[in-house]
A and B are shown apart, each in its own frame.
Chain A
Amino acid sequence: MSEPAAHSQVETSTPKELVREPLVLNNRPLGWITNQVAGIVEGDMPKWWNIAFGVSFLLMLMSFGYIGYLITTGVGVWGLNHPVAWGWAIVNFVFWIGIGHAGTLISAILFLLRQKWRTSVNRTAEAMTIFAVICAGIFPGIHVGRIWLAWWLFPLPNANAIWPQFRSPLLWDVFAVSTYFTVSLLFWYMGLIPDLATIRDRLRKNAGQCKTGLDKMINKLKQFLYGLFSMGWIGSNRHWRNYEKAYLLLAGLSTPLVLSVHSIVSFDFAVSQLPGWHTTIFPPYFVAGAVFSGFGMVLTLMIPMRTIFNLEEIITVRHLELMCKVIMATGTIVGYAYGMEFFIAWYGGNPYELYAFKNRAFGPYWWSYWIMISCNVISPQLFWFKWCRTSPWFIFVVSIFVNIGMWFERFVIVVTSLHRDYLPASWGYYSPTQVDILTFVGTFGLFMVLFLLFIRYLPSITIFEVKAVTPQADPHSVEGGADRVKGGDH
């Protein structure tokens, strides 16, 4: 790695304040970016990766084991009861779906808004989205009592002449989540194609360096696979034009999905008549919460990654800071929503609803409510201070809090509303079992397995897009612009 070049001495006529902080620090040459990102994929993985993968894999297996136990034995292995018929499974589902939102927001909405800083984080964020939706998708599937009949939720023609019930929000979920997953996957894969081609080409270049026969074979196989998935990308002008059009279209398609998916997930609750669920504020509140939690997760993943792979110059503190601002904004919206719920409960004059909210704060589950408030409302407010949003380790800690807080938000909504509703005679208490807890923990294993495989085998930063936002890529840049670029493989 070379030292930063001493370009900064160049005098310019632009006032210093107006110079935007570059998105890639230290004015790295474009080839360096490729080397840096593709190097992760090409090189051997360090020991920690193997350990992390091993641990995650075991966690994932544990989760699958518990799911097997659940399916063969019955939903009773969870802590559910009457009145709390939805517990951790639904909490986890909403939690994971929410996590996914940051990816789509970064990749689609920020793209449409021409926010260039998205380039260095969007790939990882999108990958996170897909893996989170996979984790999320598990739960509604396994939470039903007779999973082998869950296909009845799909509108398939059948000899019984009955259809699913289209008024049910659960059915809307089926469509919303599957659409969301499909579009996100396509969008992510689209963006990967040029970079996959880069890796393919680099593999060919490196083929000569293979020493053993085995290495050669692996190289060949990799070439084949990367070649297959890059779908014949050669970076021609036509390819680029088609690519950009398609990417724009998908970005346009994804944008409403960011809003719709979590709105529809929130309908699961809002459409009911349960005090604490039946609230019109839910759709925007859920979307804001989802973005909030998604950014939290992005930061949780990104901060260690940039350190480990020396990507601090591509994923800069400025990136982190911008994300912190999003967290702060959405966290404040969420806080407002919490306040509004209480206000409406009081203002609406419905004693059942008022009780439901009082019970959240002061009932048997008071602790979950106050964990939620401290993590979601109080902790992001620290980002008003510049130091707080520019110190990576501090951000990391807060991002963990955000994750915890948002999980608890869903817990509070699902469980505290259910456990005490209309008739005091049916009030009850819910606590999770080992199966509940470890299945959820295991989904982190699944998530990490997928994520680790992702950083191992796919370029975790969009090489070509990052290049496009470097000063060199800007012909008007004082840093020199296009003369330093030879066209080539970007």
Chain B
Amino acid sequence: MGDAENADWNEREFPEGAQELSDDFSRRDFLKLMGASAGLAGAGMLGVGCRRPEEHIVPFGSEQVAGQDYVHGVPMQFATAMPTRTGATPLLAVSNEGRPTKVEGNAKVAGRSATDSFAQASVLNLYDPDRARVYTKNDKAMPGGKASAIDQLKKISGKTAFLMPASTSPSRAALIGKIQEKMGENAAFYVHEAADFGVHARGAQAAFGEAVTPYWKLDQAEVILSLDCDFIGTEEGSARFAADFAKGRKVAKQNDGMNRLYSVEALLTQTGANADHRLRARATAIPAAAAFIAKALGKAISVPANALSEAQEKWLAGAAEDLKAHAGKSLVVAGYRQPESVHQLAHIINDALGNNGKTVTFHKTPANEFGSLADLASDLGKFDQVVNLGCNPVYDGGTDVDGKAITEKTTFRLTDYAEDESHSVKGVNAPRAHYLESWSDARTDDGTIVPVQPLIAPLFGAMTELEVLAVFAAGENTSPRTGHEVVQSTFTGDSWERYLHDGFLKDSGYEEATELTIANADVTVPPAQAEGLEAVFTLDYSVGDGSYANNGWCQEVPDPITKITWDNVLSVSRQTAQAAGLENGQLAKVKVGEDEVEGAVWVQPGQAEGTVGLTLGYGRAGKLRIANFKYEGQAEDIPVGGYNAYAVRGSSAVNVAQNVSVESTGKAYPLSSTQEHWSMEGRPIVREATLKEFRKDADFVDHMGLGAHARNEGPIYQHPYKERPRLASDMHQWGMSIDLSACTGCNACVIACQSENNIPIVGKDQVAKGREMHWLRIDRYYTGRDHDPRASAGFIKDEGQNGDDEQHTEEWIDDPQVVNQPMACQHCENAPCESVCPVNATVHDEEGLNVMVYNRCVGTRYCSNNCAWKVRRFNFFDYNKRPINDLYGSTAMLKPSILTDWITSREKSNRPEDEWDLVKLAKNPDVSVRMRGVMEKCTYCVQRIESTKIIKKAAAGMSDDVQVVDSDGLKTACQQVCAAEAISFGNLLEDGSEVNREKANPRNYETIDFLDNRTRTTYLAKLRNPNEQMPDAYKKPFSTKEYKAASGGHGDDAHGDHEEGSH
């Protein structure tokens, strides 16, 4: 474990945390010996031929070490929270043998066990092999580690600037107060975040003249208008928004209501992808759009001339009518990318509609009292030194901030990575503790105070910002308080134990501001850029602002819109690309003012004309092996890890920059996309209808697809229970239902699945080859209004690498509708994979699971070929045991030394020792780690099913109370994390179980049903709720039109065009 081995394992200030062994046994041995189930190591699978080597079981030295409640082999859960920019995600973190392996949302706090994808991925950050491991000064390791770093901190005197990431921690606020008291003028505090969400508060302040923050209640709104607000995606707190929004999308009965979403935006965002009506508009035209709505609602706002086209005005007028019709039950939301004026307008509109206090409330939040990074840059001369508590100004400071100068003045820095952009050469660099190894606290978006408690001692002896601030608060001669003490001293409730146990402090939310009135109705609307190109900067769906850039799960999860992994792109619309001479997949130079950067062009359906989308978070420098992933055989002159959009982002144009030029360089750039084909080709895979159609014909799904037309010829493959009736369990039959109407395509389930099931990442080149391992993927299709799949039918005009080189030139992609479909193993009853496996490695079990037995699999891949959904994943290489940029090196042939390594240490293969240890720590011990040559796939989280069953059985003893029911809390990882609650899973034999209720919904259908594979996973068809008065109204979703067109109008004859109610 390298440095970690030196760490003092016994030092622990938290009894609830990990259990450790004494010095003589490193954590590695501990896992090797006791965590017998930790890995399906090659040795286990290969070594049956030899007598077993002598192995040891090591008990704890004493029960004290173990901890009172500790039972080896039983995972424990601890309430904690992941701090975010504007709040915190309350979590229950799962600890296996003392190592946190998975986080779940804390339902006690948030009301749901959901999180976003970042919280899921954050576990991997803890075990990132590139994390800073040692304390350095003058680039030399400090032998004393944390203790000498504290000594160094004590020596700091004089004028000190503190540069900190945003935080809602009451403890930090308290410490800052103490420091200000103590140091007075000598201490100044600056807060920096690459993405500024403060505009919500500033907009409200501007509108109401009070320090309040809007708190949207999307579940209360029937009509929502988003003004470039990606509340499902990049807005902070998106999990709650997605949950609330999805509540209005789940229609079970014909007379159920459904919300309607209008979206005005420049880039195609997840919110736009879920909208019922979507208007493409330049980002700079959106203020005018807001003004237009306000004006349409009778407010005296002047709309800038020429900002909006006639068609756009018609659209907005239609939306305004609908809003008016739903006064008090509607909501207008403005996104963080839009200027204050748009937020102000949104409040004015909501006020005019009477929405304030109903669909949006306001919290009294403390005003921001700290300077920004730009302020620090200009004040820099006043200070003797800077203490940086985790910011990276050189990377994300933007073009106007001299990050280097700040770095040079930095005498102490907390850092995640040893050598990143803002690495301080002269000062002290201290490893920053991960939240799962820190004591802290935070406030959620409604202000509830939640504790952040560690599950493991800092792996590399890292420090937290509270510990650093505590040194300053304590002063020179007193010993600083520990993080634990700081947090406990800030705690104001009755029971500290209760607080830690539940993970929140009751009734600690922000005070609600009522009776707000518009204080300032006079809004100056900035003019739009009419000609030329403008740039829109956006946070990345996968890596955020770049803090997740070195997280393999985040890099490899496909962008929900583009489906691109490992890179960011310059997104442009089809026509803009043609006009600017840009080719899909070619490098182009973007010039913003004097600054320029090169990135790969991506023709993005649904993007506004004249807009270039630049995604932040990529192009990291420094020793970050994942962020700068370079694969074997990669061309030397191709940049790695995407482009750095911060390099052209100035403080004056943080979100939208005008007068931008883009010029193709003619160089091709390899992009790895997980979905190369955009169109559904008129196939009824995702079935859709409008709410109106659904009300006329609830069973519309049954009239689509071959299943509705074909005579049932009987299954190709025999039903296993028919063959062996004895096999079927009368206790449990598992099934899943996925509501496509609720699914927003947010990717949280994909990462949750990856975290739960030990799914490896494979690297950019492997993704390009189509070898990504995600058991659960989200298919995203674009459908076009007048697109006849027969016209293009996916036939290719040239034979390019991905075979789809022409789709981005087709006209129908300009204004598409988007559908998402989470796709994992369907657990067919007549499973095609099962009957073709020659070794019985994939079989049906008693409870309806299509089981994949890794240790039996020889890897013929026949099952994958025969799977209609192509959801099986094959380990083409030893992704777990090999570094992903060394997959092609043969173990035995090219590196003879590796052969001897393999014999002596078969477990780790050619993975560096330090890396391997961390890799192992992150694994879920309940799931086998698959070796190369083995097929894998979704198992419905069989480990969770089995453990729930076992708990129930063990508790039942001699009684027969062993049937697992919904109330036993069994959830699959994807289900648990889904904010929209689109996924239901459970026992089909339990009357009234959630999954049975969902499957009884008339929208329930099987994909590719005519094969008669009888999938246990079924889908609820997607509903759209268009407004017939809108200029872009549609009677059928585009996909349904495509389906009708592709089936040659047959559907109309035989089963009715339900529009006319003829059926």
Chain A residues in the interface with B (C-beta under 8 A): 68-69, 72-77, 79-86, 143-150, 152-153, 162-165, 167-171, 174, 268, 271-274, 278, 350-352, 355, 358-359, 362-367, 418-429, 431
Q: Which of B118-126, B501-509, B680-688, B918-926 binds A?
A: B680-688
- Cβ B933 vs Cβ A74 within 8 A: yes
Q: Smallest distance from the beta carbon of A24 to chain B beta carbons, Å?
A: 48
A468→B768 CA distance, assembly (Å): 63
B876 within 8 A of A: yes
Q: Smallest distance from the beta carbon of B621 to chain A beta carbons, Å?
A: 30
Nearest to A140 among chain B residues (CB) is B860
Contacts of B60 in A (CB 8 A): none
Give 30 CB contacts A-B under 8 Å. A69-B893, A72-B892, A74-B875, A75-B933, A76-B887, A81-B771, A85-B864, A86-B861, A145-B858, A145-B932, A145-B933, A146-B931, A152-B858, A165-B838, A170-B862, A272-B866, A273-B866, A278-B716, A352-B706, A355-B793, A363-B794, A363-B803, A364-B803, A366-B799, A423-B779, A423-B1007, A424-B683, A426-B869, A427-B804, A428-B770
- Cβ A429 vs Cβ B802 within 8 A: yes
- Cβ B858 vs Cβ A144 within 8 A: yes
A224→B716 CA distance, assembly (Å): 58
- Cβ B676 vs Cβ A428 within 8 A: yes
- Cβ B836 vs Cβ A272 within 8 A: yes
Within 8 Å by CB of B823, from A162, A268, A423, lies A423
Contacts of B893 in A (CB 8 A): 68-69, 72-73
The SS class assigned to the B binding surface is loop
- Listed from nearest, the 4 A-B pairs whose CB atoms lie closest are A145-B859, A145-B933, A76-B876, A81-B770
A143→B933 CA distance, assembly (Å): 10
How many A-B Cβ pairs are below 8 Å?
228
- Cβ A272 vs Cβ B832 within 8 A: yes
With A80-B874, A145-B860 known, 17 other A-B pairs at CB within 8 A are: A69-B893, A73-B890, A77-B888, A80-B861, A146-B931, A351-B1047, A363-B795, A364-B799, A418-B865, A422-B685, A422-B869, A423-B779, A424-B681, A424-B685, A425-B821, A426-B869, A429-B802
A85→B1008 CA distance, assembly (Å): 21
Contact A74 B838, CB 8 Å, known A274-B865, A351-B1046, A359-B795: no
- Cβ A146 vs Cβ B840 within 8 A: no
Contact A79 B769, CB 8 Å, known A68-B893, A271-B836, A351-B1046: yes
Q: Smallest distance from the beta carbon of B817 to chain A beta carbons, Å?
A: 15
Contacts of B312 in A (CB 8 A): none
Contacts of B935 in A (CB 8 A): 145
B324 within 8 A of A: no
- Cβ A423 vs Cβ B685 within 8 A: yes
- Cβ A144 vs Cβ B770 within 8 A: no
Contacts of B443 in A (CB 8 A): none
Q: B755-780 vs A: 1/0 string, CB under 8 Å?
A: 00000000000100111100001011
Most chain A CB inside 10 Å of its own CB: which residue of B856, B860, B1046:
B860
A168→B843 CA distance, assembly (Å): 12
A69→B857 CA distance, assembly (Å): 21
A272→B717 CA distance, assembly (Å): 9
Within 8 Å by CB of B794, from A69, A84, A367, A420, lies A420
B877 within 8 A of A: yes
B889 within 8 A of A: yes
Nearest to B869 among chain A residues (CB) is A423
A144→B863 CA distance, assembly (Å): 12
Nearest to A73 among chain B residues (CB) is B890
- Cβ B876 vs Cβ A74 within 8 A: yes
- Cβ B865 vs Cβ A424 within 8 A: no
Nearest to B772 among chain A residues (CB) is A82
A153→B859 CA distance, assembly (Å): 11
Within 8 Å by CB of B770, from A83, A169, A274, A422, lies A83
- Cβ B840 vs Cβ A162 within 8 A: yes
Contacts of A153 in B (CB 8 A): 838-839, 858
Q: B835-878 vs A: 1/0 string, CB under 8 Å?
A: 11111100000000000000011111110111011101111111
Nearest to A350 among chain B residues (CB) is B706
- Cβ B859 vs Cβ A76 within 8 A: no
- Cβ A164 vs Cβ B1047 within 8 A: no
Nearest to B802 among chain A residues (CB) is A429
Most chain B CB inside 10 Å of its own CB: which residue of A77, A153, A359, A426:
A426
Nearest to B836 among chain A residues (CB) is A168
B284 within 8 A of A: no
Nearest to B866 among chain A residues (CB) is A272
Nearest to A149 among chain B residues (CB) is B858
- Cβ B864 vs Cβ A425 within 8 A: no
Nearest to B898 among chain A residues (CB) is A72
B891 within 8 A of A: yes
Contacts of B860 in A (CB 8 A): 143-145, 170
Contacts of A365 in B (CB 8 A): 799
Nearest to A425 among chain B residues (CB) is B779
Contact A167 B868, CB 8 Å, known A74-B876, A81-B771: no
